[in-house]
Structure 1
Amino acid sequence: MAVPLSVSDAALPDSSTAREWMSYRDRTWARMDTPEQPMVVTIVLLLTAPLDQTRLRATLRDRLLPFTRFRQRLVLDGARYVWIDDPAFNLDAHLHWSRLPEPADQRVLEERVGELCGEPLDFSRPLWRCVVVENYGAGGALVFRIHHCIADGVALLRVFLTLADRGPEPSSPIAIREERREQARLAAKTAKRSARPSGWLPRLRWNMAFAGTLLRQSLMGPDIHTALRGRLNGRKRVAWATPIPLAEIAVIRERLGGRVNDVMLTAIAGALGRYLEARGGLRPKLAVRVVEAVNLRPYQDEIRLGNEFAVIFLTLPLDLADPVARLALVRTRMAQVKASPEAVANLALIDLVGRLPAWLERVVLRLYGMRGTLVMTNVPGPEHPLYLAGAPVARVLAWVPQITGIGIGVCVLSYAGAITVGIVTDSGVIADPWELVTGFEAEIAQLRTHALE
């Protein structure tokens, strides 16, 4: 497991005395790294024109490095984790240029991204890395990897947006500020209200529900064992689906009901069912739990790093072949979870785990990881096309790390009027995530057909 150096071992000069204590919540994610499961968020940009090295470097220097976390290291000061400025920071140590072996197609890029997803970051440096793949498609690809202890997916996407422009030329300061406000509004739409209600009776009811939920979460048993779970080997595989126009999802929602997230969960459940059915593992009333991230950030004009999200456990029905019936059941279950304080209860547990000794945290997280079969996150992205250092961004893809013991991750990300679903698996559980992608696309096609009937 990668761990920070202690202050005494870090050999820092006296000028590096400024420090910032890491929150207990972020410390949970910092200590969650295992050899098989690095806690690193991976974002991939597919470009339609080559990146200029000098301009990209200037963009990172002028727009990314003002966020102090990207110039800081994490060290141990006694039992506490501390952010400190890295006196040896060098941008070139975090920016790498590479080429794919021929034929340099999507499968080859997926293999390379999978390799990167399995590599831990170096705790002796700031916890991020940027890899430019020069020979993919018309313009190449950029792979951006950031440790989860720096920020959650919503905040990291907003950081990425500060690097981008709406046109090939750099945006004006006014346009940049307006872009930040727009993305803040979009992110706030997905946020779950975490504050307790006002009034003594509503607050009493909320507190009782919170206590009951906290008890149920603490006593939750392991998820059912299927071919979707297994021993992790640390070798990651990634794949991504064909973009789905948001207009098509809107038709499904209008005719069949539900939100975008409900439709995605329904299709993912169908894909998992297809995978098990092909192996003789699908049986009546079979269901598995998905661990889904829930945004708890209120509207924030300025970008604030750190983790302000929680997770919920949702039971996905895998035995329902009818996608319409499956969607109805997913909608009902999701509405029940959203109406409960489960997300806030799990946030309290995450904060508590960060206060435990490291050895006890590993035990708790191992038990926590047994409760679900896959991790899923849904992040709203920009609604219009963007440019990075003058190069048009055709698609934005992302993959999130999985909690200890879970071998499947799904990320739903919208960009420029379309949704892309990225899937990452540990090859010890699923050797080829394309089988899940194919099943997902077939399920979306079925939902579309039913919506148009």
Structure 2
Amino acid sequence: MNKEEPVTPVGRLFLQEEGNQVINCIINAKYPINIESVKAEIKNSIFIQHPRFQSVLVRDKNGREYWKRGDINLDKHIFLIQDIDHGDSPSDALSDDEIVNAYLADLTVSSPLNDDKPLWELHILKDQNCVVLRIHHASGDGVSLMSLILAMCRKVDQPDQLPSIPGNNTRISSSSSRVNMREIILRLVMKIWLTIVYGTGFLLRSLCLKDAKSKISGGHGVQLWPRKLATARFKFDDMKSVKNAVLHATINDVLFGVITSGLSRYLDYHQTSESKTKEGLQITGIAMVNLREQPGLQDMSNLVKSSSVTSWWGNKFAFLLLPIYPHKNVGNDALQYVKNAKDMLDKKKLSLEAHFTYAISKLAMSLLGPKVTYFLNNRVFCNTSFTISNVVGPQKEIMLGGNPITSFRATSSSLPHALTMHMVSYAGKAEMQILVAKDIIPDPQFLAKCF
């Protein structure tokens, strides 16, 4: 990488003052964390060698942003957090998870990263055996950052080996790939039609089309409202069992079925006499979709080379709009939530919606600049109801600096949505962080139970 590198178009969006986005990754350790050991581990890791995390953000006289290489002072990046408030009285004492979530909820609203140093920080919550890695979204997305974090870790059962993430090993046999010309044409026509329909829907969301008001609706300015954070936990084997019960389903189908079911329960619980009539209520979510050709753990050994950085590092994701109908009758078949989700997601995957939204954002950046593009993207968030993302982590236990990791979680800075959900799977479990605007959704723990 050169001494100076322009910030990518998507990265420039995350640098807008109104939408400064930080990814917060929560890593729980099995044993107490020694701050000096952590410093030594980082100093000798590939993390500190990565050009992006040695670089300070600078702006030229024309307002263009660049990454400029500089020296790292770890004391400016690593903070020891102790004696966090445990509650007003012994009866109000919070668990370690609740303390960490409360700490993170405050960070998501009021604590941007200072741009006088590389845009990352490490907060060590000593009493909770927890590390919070905060990285600016302009530096990279969840998939690239997960790869970077795991490059600093090792397998517990094989300390000399890097962790691995399961990839997509699906293969189509030669017999099943024989399709006639009519099927190919029909599929192509459907792909074009769905792309036009979903692409038009995305454009309308950036202009005027808006979800009806509900108990989870956010809107412009809600990103500045105080937050609460709760955790929903699932066993990965349970999710696999549900997946196997629906033909050709995926974990994402199961996750979105869980989201639909949980939001339906939550809205039914809070419904008023007025909302009972809204049988056709549609709530639209925004999902983040990885556009890399090779999802999963990347080879971090080559990341110090500019060719590797520009080929896949950074923000390589797009948006999908995912509509759900909370009051849609599913009868006595709970799996119908997953079947409905699968039908909808199959059409989304057949279309080129994700590539369309990515191309439109890049085109808008080129023609209109980051401020107007941010305004249009922000309109999409203001006109929808929630955000959902899912990052796959290693399925075997790993360790950082010889300390086994018991939990991976993640959340981001607050958005105009009153509800943001980020799920990370690790070592046989999946944990979803539920970030809410507490004046709109005051009971995120109850929402977690609904899921």
Which TM-score band (shorter chain)? 0.7 to 0.9
Compute the TM-score of the two structures, normalised by the length of structure 1: 0.81
Say whether 1:227 aligns with 2:215: yes
Change beyond 3 A, Cα 1:349–1:384: same
Q: Is the 8 A contact 2:283 2:323 kept in 1?
A: yes
Distance 1:234 1:38 in 2: 15
What one-letter code is carried by the residue in structure 2 that aligns with 1:53? I
Say whether 1:371 aligns with 2:383: yes
Percent identical pairs in the alignment equals 21
Say whether 1:93 aligns with 2:103: no
- Quote the offset at 1:111 in angstroms: 0.8
Change beyond 3 A, Cα 1:212–1:249: closer
Change beyond 3 A, Cα 1:80–1:432: same
Map 1:241-252 to 2 at 5 A: 241-242=232-233, 244-252=234-242
Q: Is the 8 A contact 2:12 2:370 kept in 1?
A: no
SS in structure 1 at match of 2:410: strand
CA-based RMSD of the aligned residues comes to: 2.7
* Higher RCO (C-alpha under 8 Å, 6+ residues apart): 2
Map 1:27-426 to 2 at 5 A: 27-31=12-16, 33-34=17-18, 38-63=20-45, 64-77=47-60, 78-87=62-71, 89-99=72-82, 100-102=84-86, 103=93, 105=95, 106-118=97-109, 119-136=111-128, 140-167=129-156, 171-172=159-160, 175-176=161-162, 179=163, 182-183=164-165, 186=166, 210=195, 213-220=198-205, 221-230=209-218, 232=222, 233-242=224-233, 244-257=234-247, 258-280=249-271, 281=275, 283-299=278-294, 300-302=298-300, 304-320=312-328, 322=330, 323-355=334-366, 356-401=368-413, 404-426=415-437
User: Which residues of structure 2 form unaligned runs of 5+?
Assistant: 87-92, 171-180, 304-311
Q: Is the 8 A contact 1:385 1:416 kept in 2?
A: yes
- Quote the offset at 1:325 in angstroms: 2.3
Q: Is the 8 A contact 1:111 1:238 kept in 2?
A: yes
**2:177 alignment counterpart:** none
Distance 2:39 2:402 in 1: 12
- Quote the offset at 1:310 in angstroms: 0.8
SS in structure 1 at match of 2:293: coil
**2:8 alignment counterpart:** 23
SS in structure 2 at match of 1:117: helix
- Quote the offset at 1:18 in angstroms: 2.2
Distance 1:213 1:276 in 2: 26
Change beyond 3 A, Cα 1:18–1:223: same
Distance 2:412 2:167 in 1: 17
Change beyond 3 A, Cα 1:210–1:439: closer
SS in structure 2 at match of 1:278: helix
Distance 1:152 1:267 in 2: 24
- Quote the offset at 1:290 in angstroms: 1.0
Distance 2:374 2:24 in 1: 23
- Quote the offset at 1:384 in angstroms: 0.6
SS in structure 1 at match of 2:211: coil
Distance 2:48 2:413 in 1: 24
What one-letter code is carried by the residue in structure 1 that aligns with 2:313? L
Compute the TM-score of the two structures, normalised by the length of structure 2: 0.81
